[in-house]
Amino acid sequence: MKHLLSAADVDRDEATAILDTATRMHAIQDREVKKLPPLRGRTIVNLFFEDSTRTRSSFEIAGKWLSADVINVSAKGSSVSKGESLRDTALTVAAMGVDALVVRHNASGAVQRIAGWVSGCSVRAVVNAGDGTHEHPTQALLDAYTLRNRLGDLEGRHVVIVGDITHSRVARSNVLLLHTLGARVTLVAPPTLLPSGVATWTCETSWDLDATLSGKAFGDVDAVMMLRVQRERMSGGYFATEREYAINYGLSPQRLDMLAEHVPVLHPGPMNRGLEISSVAADSPRSVVLDQVQAGVAVRMAVLYRLLAGAEEEVAV
Amino acid sequence: MTGHAPVLGDGDVARVIDRIAHQIIENTAKSGFDIALLGIPTRGVPLAHRLAARIALFADTTVPVGALDITLYRDDLRLRGVRPLGDTVEPEGGITGRTVVLVDDVLFSGRTIRAALDALNDLGRPRAVQLAVLVDRGHRELPIRADYVGKNLPTASAQSVRVRLTETDGVDCVELTGGAA
């Protein structure tokens, strides 16, 4: 693993190694001294061209707990707002001798381009922290981590992902990673919010949430992941009204009751309460939303450790 | 086929552990056994548990046992490929104010123990730190020595000492292999 640009970059062994490492990293959250030494002297730049609270702060905490120096650069207040190109910004930051870039950008594929441009600089690793509607691999890893803690081995488990699939980098990365880990995925969305080409993905798709959650359509459900309706990426016309969407695809208290005892409810956040998820579901004991946030730090520690701690030429794949 | 004679056999390992247990009891009885055993993965952990079991038998006292993974504190971390981590388990009641006995299978360069001392620092502040090892094979590269040694084993640096324990390898033995002996 040189970069982490896509959930497809990790095979099953590497994914398992990251999740196992994350389990060990997780233990540090209960310690009085939250500091481990492996990235001492490494510099990580969080290059965020798009707003983010949890991803950016958890990457920052993860880097700092591993003793790296972490610098945040956001597009607002940087030279980007003066008209600097993406390539120039990336090369400028890379020229300062940093070891890793963690990049979020609102254009799909932007992070991949940056990884190409900075090869040959001091930058050892580029981590995709979300690029447009394409991928968000560390989110998929933290979801897998949360699921594994709840369900054990994910082999053969059935995960249902509901909502705005078209605009969701979370869904895309999750489908790839869950498939790698041996789980079965069903995507549920109105036809307008299923991306073209979804038939080639390693998953089932459905328009009928009730039939899927009850297990009638695709078999018993082991976990449900609700996605945020991304108003900022929608140019309108995907569904009639928000009320209609909530009725057809929201996780209402009634739908929550359809789920078996062991089924956790995930949401990558931020939640639109009353739209894709009811408050009853969001605050129920099944909800693992805050577990996901906690897992985010541990998983990102594991990713940064595996990318940056070892010798440069001999990084294990 | 070169030099596969076991240095310690099945019964020897158990006897050595009994002896170390007695020595730990002798040294710490005054403090009312306010000690904790911390095994260093992989083989230090089962050794620490065995020592605790023997101390419980001989002195009728329960000694908390933990594990201390030192991977993240190694000084050669960035010289090699990335390593998987072991478990760190804090002993019941923590380590602050207590005498901590680090337990490992082989004492060689001393770098593992240096890393363990750094790792301990992040867990708390023990009253004192002691070291128990099954085998001391010499070739120290740091000013570190063991308080309890199962077997002093003079070796050539080209040789390797292989410790096998029932818990991890199905059999108890210590072998010296390789080198021109």
Domain total for chain B?
1
pLDDT at residue B15 above 60? yes
Instruction: Output the pLDDT for position A230.
Output: 82
Determine what percent of chain A is predicted with pLDDT higher than 90: 84
pLDDT at residue A317 above 60? no
Q: How many CB atoms lie within 10 A of CB A29?
A: 13
Is B117 within the bounds of a domain? yes
Instruction: Output the pLDDT for position B151.
Output: 96
Instruction: Output the pLDDT for position A32.
Output: 85
A67-116 pLDDT per residue, tens: 999 999 988 777 777 888 999 999 999 999 999 999 999 999 999 999 99
User: What's the token pair of residue B2?
Assistant: 């070169």
Query: What is the distance between the alpha carbons of residues B90 and B94, in angstroms, rounded to a whole number?
Result: 6
Length of chain A equals 317
**Which 285-314 residues of chain A touch chain B by CB within 8 A?**
305-306, 309-311, 314
This model of the complex carries an ipTM of 0.87
Name chain A contacts of B78, Cβ cutoff 8 Å: 309-311
* Half-sphere exposure at residue B68, Cβ-oriented, CA atoms within 13 angstroms: 31
- A161-188: average pLDDT: 96
Q: Which domains does chain A have, with CATH numbers?
A: 7-136+294-308 (3.40.50.1370), 137-289 (3.40.50.1370)
Query: What is the distance between the alpha carbons of residues A263 and A256, in angstroms, rounded to a whole number?
Result: 10
| CB within 8 Å: B77 and A310 | yes
* pLDDT bucket at A177, cuts 50 / 70 / 90: very high
Cβ-based neighbours of A44, under 8 Å, separated by 6 or more:
A59, A63, A68, A69, A70, A71, A98, A99, A100, A101, A102, A304, A308
Report the relative pairing of strands B99-107 and B160-164 from DSSP bridges. unpaired
Instruction: Output the pLDDT for position A241.
Output: 87
CATH of the domain at B124: 3.40.50.2020
Q: Is some CB atom of chain B closer than 8 A to the CB atom of A16?
A: no
Whole-number Cα distances in Å, A159 to A155, A174, A273, A289: 11, 10, 22, 16
Give chain A's mean pLDDT.
Answer: 93
Name chain B contacts of A306, Cβ cutoff 8 Å: 82
Determine what percent of chain B is predicted with pLDDT higher than 70: 97
User: What's the token pair of residue A63?
Assistant: 């880097």
pLDDT at residue B86 above 50? yes
B interface with A, Cβ–Cβ below 8 Å = 69, 72-73, 77-88, 118, 122-124
Cβ-based neighbours of A285, under 8 Å, separated by 6 or more:
none
Is B56 within the bounds of a domain? yes
Best mutation target, B79, B85, B122, to test chain A (most A CBs within 10 A): B85
Asked whether A251 and A266 are in contact (CB, 8 A), the reply is no
Closest CA to B19 of B170, B169, B148: B148
Shortest CA distance from A316: residue in chain B: B81
* pLDDT bucket at A234, cuts 50 / 70 / 90: low
Prediction pTM value: 0.92
* pLDDT bucket at B4, cuts 50 / 70 / 90: low
B42-72 pLDDT per residue, tens: 999 999 999 999 999 999 999 999 999 999 9
Name chain B contacts of A310, Cβ cutoff 8 Å: 77-78, 80-83
B103-150 pLDDT per residue, tens: 999 999 999 999 999 999 999 999 999 999 999 999 999 999 999 999
B80, B87, B122: residue with CB nearest A310: B80
Is B108 within the bounds of a domain? yes
Closest CA to A213 of A169, A175, A248: A248
| CB within 8 Å: B88 and A27 | yes
Asked whether B61 and B28 are in contact (CB, 8 A), the reply is no
- Domain containing B107 equals 11-156
